[in-house]
Structure 1
Amino acid sequence: MATLLDDPRSLPAHQTRRGVRDVHIVGVPMDLGASRRGVDMGPSAMRLAGVAERLAQLGHAVEDHGNVRVPDRTSFTGTAGGRAFLPAIAEVCAELATFTAGALRNGATPLVLGGDHSLGAGSVAGVATALAERGEALGLLWLDAHSDIHTPDSSGSGNVHGMPVAHLLGLGDPRLSGLAAPGPAVRPEHVVYVGLRDVDPPERALIRELGIRAFTMRDIDERGLRAVMTDAIEITMRGTGGIHVSCDADWVDPSEAPGVGTPVRGGATLREAHLAMEIVADAHAMLSMDLVEINPILDRHNHTAELAVDLLASAFGRRIL
């Protein structure tokens, strides 16, 4: 695989020749976008698994900035849920976008610990805003069993964690689609999915209409993970200033990652997941990252959070030799 290692001038400003980064961690303990409770404990589970310590052991300068403020779900009256939580989610995402934009402006790599995947509407928007100030576009690599490209009108459940990609593309509710300045946060030709295996008909139609490149698990089965990730990295780097990697823990097969709210059998194996992250690290193009949707209530002895921390270590440069 061709990488940027041969030309140190091509390394992003946030990363030195040795690959050492300033990493700014923030948690988003939010479950407002999901129907099942528990993912709000995901950031705590990853901290308990030693995420900051693991990245520091790799030589990175790590700062944990605590959590973005998220309203308690029990503070909402009546039977609020689904779309009713969208205004509150938008406020959380606006604060998160401010954080990720500020981190990138300061030369750091924002690492967002979720929380449900609706937070992606904020994390990516902030990075896109800071990058646009340099006159550059953002590439988006979405590792997920689901495409998360519903709009509020197309979603049957109304759950906002199924909508962040649509909002990043400038669709849906303006309170979420308008977080990047200028908008939209990303363009369809700069978005790539890897690992899809559960896509609703309206999402399938929109992906085709917009021409978004999507690699399903069948593509991985037929071509192999390395070939798929090589193509995905190349596409997201084409015409952009770098990549945001958004990884849903349900991208990994539930036999390896049981602590997720929306498990779908047939996902990436343990080694495929690590290889994907190792390829991301080798490309030296990652500007920012999310790891989301870990639900400790459904987990076994914090196994999924520990796996997530292992995958983050691979994405941030851990090597076997």
Structure 2
Amino acid sequence: MNTHDITLIGAPLDCGKQRAGCLMGPDAYRTAGLPEALRELGHSVQDAGNVAPNAHKAAPSDTIYALPENIAWTEALADAAQSAMTGSIPIFMGGDHALSLGTILGVARHAAQVDRPLFILWLDAHTDFHTPHTTSSGNLHGTPVGYLSG
């Protein structure tokens, strides 16, 4: 089996939808022993802690839930993902899956920077193909594939 350098990155965001709880995800993965399980498989594991977004800017919206917070998280996670791609395989521990807005953006930036193609395997119970104009819930966790496809 091939072993890899892995960086665990917590993304305790809870703003992509209107139910609380997902922000506990990163600590739950750690408590459940994810770092140790990866090490037992022979991987080198570094835990980079949790990403923290900068203060969010005003971005009022009547239709999108927590838009300023989602923008701040997207920017912070894009930077974290792009940086993490340079030396290891990042594993982002969420948080709700609005985290993919930033993580995929960061990986895409890295791929463009090193002139490599970007491949994404999207496994989800839903298509997440909405846009801010088509979402009836206003939750951005249902839009990542819509953004990816343009």
Q: What is the TM-score normalised by the length of structure 2?
A: 0.89
Separation in 1, partners of 2:37, 2:30: 10
1:119 match: 99
| 8 Å Cα contact 1:27/1:112 also seen in 2 | yes
Q: Deviations over 1:81-135 (max 9, x none)?
A: 96141222121111111111111122x0010001111110111111111111121
Taking a change above 3 Å as real, the CA distance of residues 70 and 94 of structure 1, as seen in their structure-2 partners, is closer
Question: Which SS does the other structure have where 1:123 is aligned?
Answer: helix
> In the alignment, does 2:92 pair up with 1:109?
no
Instruction: Deviation per CA, 1:274-307: give whole Å up to 9, x if none.
Output: xxxxxxxxxxxxxxxxxxxxxxxxxxxxxxxxxx
Partners of 2:144 and 2:49 in 1: CA distance: 23
Cα gap change, 1:157 to 1:22, in 2 (>3 Å): same
Alignment CA distance shift 1:109-1:31 (3 Å):
same
> Match of 1:155, SS?
coil
Who is 1:33 aligned against?
Answer: 16
Q: Provide the identity percentage.
A: 42
SS at structure 2 position matched to 1:158: coil
Distance across 1 between alignment mates of 2:97 and 2:62: 16
Pair 1:64–1:82, CA change in 2 (3 A):
farther
Is the contact between residue 82 and residue 160 of structure 1 (CA under 8 Å) also seen in structure 2? no
Distance 1:35 1:152, change over 3 A: same
1:128 aligns with 2:108: yes
Aligned to 1:165: 145
Aligned-residue RMSD, C-alpha:
1.8
Matches of 2:145 and 2:34 in 1, distance apart? 26
TM-score (norm 1): 0.43
> Where in structure 1 are there 5+ consecutive unaligned residues?
1-17, 72-79, 171-321
1:19 alignment counterpart: 2
Q: Is the 8 A contact 1:34 1:82 kept in 2?
A: no
Number of the residue aligned with 1:153: 133
1:54-133 → structure 2 map (5 Å cutoff): 54-70=37-53, 83-106=64-87, 108-133=88-113
- Aligned in 2, Cα 1:119/1:82: closer, same or farther, shift over 3 Å? farther
Query: Partners of 2:147 and 2:68 in 1: how far apart?
Result: 13
User: CA–CA distance in 2 between the matches of 1:62 and 1:160?
Assistant: 31
Q: Tell me if structure 1 keeps the 8 A contact 2:8–2:49.
A: yes
Q: Report the structure, 1 or 2, having the larger helix content.
A: 1
CA distance in 2, matches of 1:70, 1:49: 25
